[in-house]
């Protein structure tokens, strides 16, 4: 007898549907309209709590969700409805709802016919990349990468349907297998966060205490710095940098983005302005930092000549006092970031900015320039090793996620079968 969850072979047949391929001979292929009805009742989110349709499923409305003043122009959702965002740029934003509530009109709300479908199976049948690609293939719109799929078109999509007892076995099997994979992914993400924290703590330790563990430490009298080697100095930013505040056009100086990964050619996702002349000049080796507190750690030494938005501070290191290689660690760490934004001003508690006049007064720990160079070399090597480990962990997550996707697809289309799971 085959063990619990063991795969077995079955005679297969061509489904006639490209995204499905072959299916077991006893399975059927049916249109969505034969398996679901549409729920299209308009309601108010005063009466039915607003929900968000996300890649993680249907959840109470997120704080980050775009909100409308029209509270009555919503769709009703009931428990066990399958809800899917019809826009192609929201691919895989869908799920079986555990809540009664309301969603925006861009979503399709579908009621499974439970005599034909196991609810537990539906969440895998319709929440996999094979179906997602097929669903948006049936969409219409005027922009190549942004269109929507309405009920009249979407209801014609064909689905692979096993007997309901097998649907239940498949769902139970996938519940267990995906839970194991999700646990591994969660643990791996935790490891990544621990590596990132270690990297930041290492940088802060070295740029304030140096490499020589036997050197005498003395108080810097600066809270974020703490004790420093006695031969080091504490200097205001104004003694170490000058401000570059020249306005230029991004026609003459290519636009740059100030990101958490450093200074890069302008990202496609960056907010763009019609005023191309209201920019700040940046030259190679300038340190650029976004002055807004909600952009914490968006900074870096620039490898490019170009221009940035006016919200950024552009600072020119005095190279007789600073090693450029050291600057990227001195100013790109969480200790300095917290201190920098502590000097900011604004009318909103969690969103303000730090200007040059205030920021230039911040004090920094400064070793002799030869030690700066040694510290930078040491940190280059150590952070490269940590970054390599982080990259490996991200690759591992990607492998597990791809495995999970392919596993779900293979079981909901019958390429692989399970037995030994009681329905």
Measuring CA to CA, which residue among 329, 286, 278 is closest to residue 305? 286
pLDDT of 423 reads: 52
- Does one domain contain both 334 and 382? no
Q: Report d(CA 76, CA 95) in Å as an integer.
A: 15
Question: Are residues 43 and 102 in contact, defined by beta-carbon separation less than 8 angstroms?
Answer: yes
In a domain, 10, yes or no: no
In a domain, 386, yes or no: yes
- Does one domain contain both 227 and 362? yes
Q: Report d(CA 265, CA 253) in Å as an integer.
A: 11
- Does one domain contain both 271 and 281? yes
Residue 406's DSSP bridge partners are none
pLDDT of 420 reads: 63
User: CATH number of the domain that 324 lies in?
Assistant: 3.90.220.20
Q: Report d(CA 238, CA 318) in Å as an integer.
A: 10
Q: Burial level of 78, CB count in 10 A (0-12/13-18/19+)?
A: middle
- Does one domain contain both 233 and 361? yes
Terminal-residue alpha carbon distance, the chain: 18
Of 320, 337, 366, at which residue does a domain stop?
Answer: 366
Q: Which domain holds residue 51?
A: 28-161
In a domain, 277, yes or no: yes
Residue 47 has a CB neighbour count (10 Å cut-off) of: 12
Of 131, 161, 191, at which residue does a domain stop?
Answer: 161
pLDDT of 3 reads: 42
Q: Report d(CA 310, CA 339) in Å as an integer.
A: 21
- Does one domain contain both 132 and 264? no
In a domain, 396, yes or no: yes
Positions of the chain with pLDDT lower than 50, given as ranges: 1-7
In the block, tokens 């959702």 appear at 77
- Does one domain contain both 35 and 125? yes
Q: How many domains does the chain have?
A: 3
pLDDT of 8 reads: 52
Measuring CA to CA, which residue among 183, 161, 182, 130 is closest to residue 408? 130
User: CATH number of the domain that 183 lies in?
Assistant: 1.10.287.1120
In a domain, 45, yes or no: yes
Q: Report d(CA 283, CA 256) in Å as an integer.
A: 11
- Does one domain contain both 33 and 122? yes
- Does one domain contain both 263 and 184? no
Question: Are residues 43 and 109 in contact, defined by beta-carbon separation less than 8 angstroms?
Answer: no
- Does one domain contain both 40 and 70? yes
In a domain, 319, yes or no: yes
In a domain, 4, yes or no: no
- Does one domain contain both 380 and 408? yes
- Does one domain contain both 354 and 242? yes
Q: Report d(CA 316, CA 376) in Å as an integer.
A: 18
- Does one domain contain both 185 and 279? no
In a domain, 5, yes or no: no
Residue 242's DSSP bridge partners are 316
């Amino acid at each position: 007898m085959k063990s619990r969850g063991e795969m077995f072979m079955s005679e297969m047949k061509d489904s006639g549907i490209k995204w499905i391929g072959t299916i077991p001979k006893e399975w059927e292929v049916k249109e969505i309209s034969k398996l679901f009805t549409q729920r299209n009742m308009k309601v108010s989110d005063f009466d039915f709590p607003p929900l968000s349709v996300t890649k993680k499923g249907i959840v109470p409305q997120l704080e980050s969700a775009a909100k409308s003043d029209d509270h009555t122009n919503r769709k009703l959702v009931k428990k066990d409805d399958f809800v899917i965002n019809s826009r192609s740029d929201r691919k895989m934003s869908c799920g079986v709802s555990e809540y009664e509530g309301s969603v925006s009109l861009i979503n399709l709300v579908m009621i499974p016919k439970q005599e034909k479908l196991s609810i537990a199976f539906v969440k895998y049948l319709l929440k996999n990349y094979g179906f997602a690609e097929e669903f948006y293939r049936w969409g219409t719109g005027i922009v190549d990468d942004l269109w929507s799929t309405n009920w009249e078109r979407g209801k014609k999509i064909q689905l692979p349907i096993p007997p309901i007892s097998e649907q239940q076995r498949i769902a139970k099997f996938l519940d267990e297998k995906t839970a194991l994979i999700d646990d591994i992914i969660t643990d791996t993400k935790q490891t990544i966060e621990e590596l990132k924290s270690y990297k930041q703590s290492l940088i802060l330790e070295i740029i304030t205490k140096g490499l020589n563990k036997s050197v005498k430490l003395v108080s810097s009298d600066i809270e974020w710095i703490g004790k420093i080697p006695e031969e080091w100095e504490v200097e205001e930013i104004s003694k170490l940098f000058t401000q570059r505040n020249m306005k230029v056009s991004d026609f003459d100086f290519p636009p740059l983005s100030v990101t958490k990964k450093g200074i890069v050619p302008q990202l496609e996702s960056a907010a763009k302005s019609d005023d191309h002349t209201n920019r700040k000049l940046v030259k190679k080796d300038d340190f650029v930092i976004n002055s807004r507190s909600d952009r914490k750690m968006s900074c870096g030494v620039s490898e490019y000549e170009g221009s940035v938005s006016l919200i950024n501070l552009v600072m020119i290191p005095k190279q007789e006092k600073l090693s450029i290689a050291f600057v990227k660690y001195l100013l790109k760490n969480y200790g300095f970031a917290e201190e920098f934004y502590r000097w900011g001003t604004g009318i909103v508690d969690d969103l303000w900015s730090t200007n040059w006049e205030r920021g230039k007064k911040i004090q920094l720990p400064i070793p002799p320039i030869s030690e700066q160079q040694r510290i930078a070399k040491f940190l280059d090597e150590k952070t490269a090793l940590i970054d390599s480990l982080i990259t490996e962990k991200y690759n591992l997550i990607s492998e597990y996620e791809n495995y999970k996707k392919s596993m779900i697809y293979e079981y909901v289309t019958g390429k692989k079968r399970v037995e030994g799971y009681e329905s």
